[in-house]
Structure 1
Amino acid sequence: MLAAPLQTAPQEYRTAKAYRILIYVGAPLLILLFLALPFMLMNGENPVPGYFLAGFAILGLGMAAFLVYGLFETAKGRLVVQEQSVSQVGAFKTKTLAAHEIKGFRADDKYTHIVPMSPHLPKLKIGHTTERYEEIQQWLVARYPDLNRVDLERATAGLLEDHDLGRNAEERAETLAKAAMVARTLNIAGGVVCAWLVFIPRPL
């Protein structure tokens, strides 16, 4: 495990280079395709009704606009981490949380969410495609609580006080451990069944 980076100067994190190259190359091609689609249909051998052409034109313009926004967001977007604040710079706006305004963070399989103390403050969402993503997570772990773990510990503590699960704390802890083992077994079994249905849909 890497040590949390020393914040002697502001650290900037952009979309990972491989993703930036993919977007810079692919987005312009898709923009041209969406803009040209109505003309391709109009000049085809089989005539296309006007309302279809209008629909495709609106769809093409919408998708092209979305991709242009994505290009600007990729070019300008970055996370700026300092000791006193964290800022997320976007194509059209910047969201900033001061260090004392950060309650903690939550991580899932796609994003790390920086949660503010107040719901009126902005929430910051960091995608897993951000460069040096693990470094950002380590910086957060070193300074703020993992709110998913806090919630789990709080729920576990509440269950350990539930007398329906056992006569004392030891019995209740044993019951919870058995329940967790059963849940893991069911999850594994569910994954195996799903894989079986996908790759071997017919019974042997």
Structure 2
Amino acid sequence: MKREFLTLLTIGSFAFFASCGNQGTEKKTEEKDQKVEEAAKKEECTYAFDLENTSVKWTAYKTTEKIGVSGTFDSLIVSNTQKASSIASVFENATFEIPVATVNSNAPDRDKKILAHFFGVMDETTSIKGKVLGVDEAIGIISMDITMNNISKAFDFSYEIKDNTLSVSAEGMKLSHWKAQPAVDSLNTVCYDLHKGSDGVSKLWPEVKIEIASKVQKDCK
């Protein structure tokens, strides 16, 4: 009987201390989680525009098969950005200018033709200009006004944010918005044979794809 009592006492003591040990661990875990949450609340971050990490890529399409030809612009002028508590807000009221002479398709001869026979036949288009009209962070929309061929057109673009980078991808941008069909025809004429596909038809599509990516500077305190 005495032995059974000692056995029960030992088991009870072990259970008690094990229970106390678990409570201590749980308490430490809760305290640690609370400290992490408090640190996150105290951390305040601001974001700022970084021109060196901003790019504009374009893709035009040739032949009936719609083969893409991509390029960039080597120069971009951006003004009126601001330091903000969110990435999208950095671009509120921003303005931009893209000198068309810096077009770069990785083919110098083609670049000369694009400059002379596409942009060159437009009205007052030494630069493509634009401004941000507003940002709606709730639905991920950035509104821009883009001016080319002396015509301004407003657009609503969806944007994504990943790794401190705001990205806009606009497919099917119709050049007819800027009455640029004569420029399309002009470039297709000078590049007639180069724009022929397997069917022998020469074609330059009157639309482009534009991709903008801007990685902002992040500063947390």
| TM-score band w.r.t. shorter chain | under 0.3
By percentage of residues, which structure has more helix? 1
The structure number with the bigger radius of gyration is 2
By percentage of residues, which structure has more strand? 2
Please report the TM-score for the alignment, with normalisation by the length of structure 1.
Answer: 0.25
